[in-house]
Amino acid sequence: MAVGGRSATPEVIWARPERAGRGPRPAYSRADIAAAAVRIADAEGLDAVSMRRVAAEIGCGTMSLYNYVPRKEDLYELMVDAIGGEYEFPERPSGDWRADMRALAHQTRALMHRHPWLPGLMSPVYGFGPHVLRYLEYCLTCLDGLDAAQGTKLELVATVNGMVTTYVGNELATAERARSLPWSPEQENAARAAYLGREIATGKYPRVARAFAEDSGPVDLDAAFDRMLGRVLDSFT
């Protein structure tokens, strides 16, 4: 049984026709629908994305939209794949798989900052639309020079994406918290530094004291990202 175009059995959105049911040619494409949902999420966050809002954005009725996208989860899948289409790949990999994977990781980080809702949808559940499969094929092409089983290469891609997602998620959360505070980040950092200084001066945390003594300056987030990424890639050699 199906309700409003929604199947009661498992179904992959990409295996469906663009529009379910009989009638005229589809008035909207999946790309139109995904672009509308992405615009809403970029402007107002993922919680603002609903079938009603997307339908209004493209100019159709909510029930009509269900003929194109049976479930909200399918809408999320369209959104993730639409962002996958923003990757820019060279004509061919450089031949240095570490350099190529680094470049892709930096693109992923930039995409997530451009679309701050994306880390919340980074899941294999939403991971195999046409653009994402193109991305995955390119990753594996980059890894042709790595002497490892294909399954290990897939694990490498997943590990890199997991690291980037976690890193950017922390960056976004920190920025969001800073926007919500009644004082500046500099004031907050100064207060925390003073507290840590007092605690370390007690002598109860000698290893922490040595760690801060070695590098007490502000964290360079770009440099830290590169170091962590390098360690992940090195673990596969």
Write the pLDDT tens digit of every residue in 18-65.
Answer: 776 555 566 889 999 999 999 999 999 999 999 999 999 999 999 999
Residue 9, pLDDT score: 72
Q: Is residue 229 within 8 Å of residue 163, measured between CB atoms?
A: yes
* CA distance linking residue 114 with residue 24, whole number of Å: 37
pLDDT band at 217 (very low <50, low <70, confident <90, very high): low
Structure token digits, residue 78: 């369209």
* CA distance linking residue 78 with residue 101, whole number of Å: 25
Percent residues over pLDDT 90 in the chain:
70
Look up residue 127 and give its DSSP letter.
-
Mean pLDDT of 129-158: 96
Can you give the pTM of this predicted structure?
A: 0.86
pLDDT band at 7 (very low <50, low <70, confident <90, very high): low
* CA distance linking residue 166 with residue 231, whole number of Å: 15
Residue 97, pLDDT score: 97
4: pLDDT strictly greater than 60: no
What does pLDDT average to over the chain? 90
